[in-house]
Amino acid sequence: MSAVLESLPVQLAGPLDITPLAVRIGAEVRGLRLSGDLDAQTVAQLRAALLRHRVLFFKGQQHLDDASHQAFGRLWGEIEAHPTVPAPDGTRFLELDSRHGGRADSWHTDVTFKAAPPKACILRAVVLPPHGGDTVWANTVAAYEGLPAPLKALADELWAVHGNDYDYADPRQQTTASAAEIAGRAAYRATFRRTVIEAEHPVVHVHPETGERALLLGHFAKRLNLLRQQESSALLELLHQRIVALENTVRWRWSEGDVAIWDNRATQHYAINDYGDQHRVVRRVTVTGEHTTAIDGRRSIDRTAVSV
């Protein structure tokens, strides 16, 4: 754990029951009924816990509907719709419906193709398959802190271009996918990338609240600036493997009524696609973030969106 977070209390004074799930990432908050009416002290406790544990899980939240889910999200800041995927009527959600290609089965930090990626995301299970469909999160601060000094020095200098036009259709996955899944993925991919959006981010950015350094990569990172494609691909894979080392991860098995919230500035995540044609629907509230900042103070760059 970083020196910055060692100074934070595990739990502030108050009623919250916070149980860590692993040393590096993940905690369950028990006995709290989520809503948009939580008092300021409880919200402050949750914010501190999220900075410490990176992702928080809440069971027994079946009472949440679309309105109260969004109201809870607004306690964390302004909420925003996805820039290309239409939200369900009357909401600002990103809905991932497995029957329509919504299977986020690739390691990513959300919406890094924007110069100001989300600050936090709040995911609610709506329809769950009888088995499978777990989600895994990785701690990108721990990944950076675990790099040997020569790799840290290299990563500190690198910038990457992120875009929403990454290659969704991994041929290795298509060999076992049904015709309906393949068609759904193709349709979702077309919607997701109907407007190409790009941003340049430092590979190592400074967390705006804790001052920690974290790796900012994931599947939206298309290439590293100033490097040949082969060099870029090799370095991206090397750093990716550091991020997703099992010691940096926590896995959540969803149950009805579960909610997860994660610090998008310090994590990546992966929705495991191991439930075949069974139905899975989750809805995500996205909390608006800010431009990323490199260790030398330079800010992320918004590249011009190009219609396709």
| Catalytic sites, residue numbers | 108, 110, 269, 284
In the chain, the amino acid numbered 224 is: L
Please determine, for residue 119, whether its predicted confidence score (pLDDT) is greater than 80.
yes
- The CA-CA-CA angle for residues 206, 83, 63, to 5°, reads 90
- Span 204-261, pLDDT tens digits: 999 999 999 999 999 999 999 999 999 999 999 999 999 999 999 999 999 999 999 9
pLDDT at 102: 82
Q: What are the tens digits of pLDDT across the range 120-175?
A: 999 999 999 999 999 999 999 999 999 999 999 999 999 999 998 875 444 444 45
User: Who has greater pLDDT, 114 or 188?
Assistant: 114
How many alpha carbons fall within 13 Å on the CB side of residue 167? 8
Domain count, the chain: 1
Q: Which domain holds residue 57?
A: 3-307
Read off the amino acid at residue 261: I
pLDDT over 60 at 103, yes or no: yes
pLDDT computed for residue 21 by the predictor: 98
Q: What pLDDT is attached to residue 121?
A: 98
Residue 199 has a pLDDT of: 96
For 73, the token pair is: 């999200």
Contact between 198 and 166 under an 8 Å Cβ cutoff? The reply is no
pLDDT tens-digit profile of 79-100? 999 888 777 787 888 899 998 8
Whole-model pTM? Answer: 0.89
Confidence of residue 8 (pLDDT cuts 50, 70, 90): very low
Residue type, 108: H
Q: What is the CATH number of the domain that holds 303?
A: 3.60.130.10
pLDDT score at 88: 78
The mean predicted confidence, pLDDT, of the chain is 89
Given this model, what pLDDT does residue 11 score?
A: 41
Q: Is the pLDDT of residue 272 over 90?
A: yes
- E strands, 32-177, are 55-58, 79-80, 94-97, 120-127, 135-139, 159-163
* Model pLDDT for residues 196-205, shown as the tens digit of each residue: 899 999 999 9
Residue 206 CA, chain-centre distance (Å), reads: 17
pLDDT at position 308 is 41
- Position 190 scores a pLDDT of 60
Per-residue pLDDT band at 108 (split at 50, 70, 90):
very high
Could you tell me which residue, 194 or 39, shows the higher pLDDT?
A: 39
- Helix, strand or coil, per DSSP, at residue 295: coil
Query: Is the model's pLDDT at 19 over the cut of 80?
Result: yes
- With 70 as the cut, is the pLDDT of residue 186 above it? no
Q: What is the pLDDT of residue 87?
A: 73
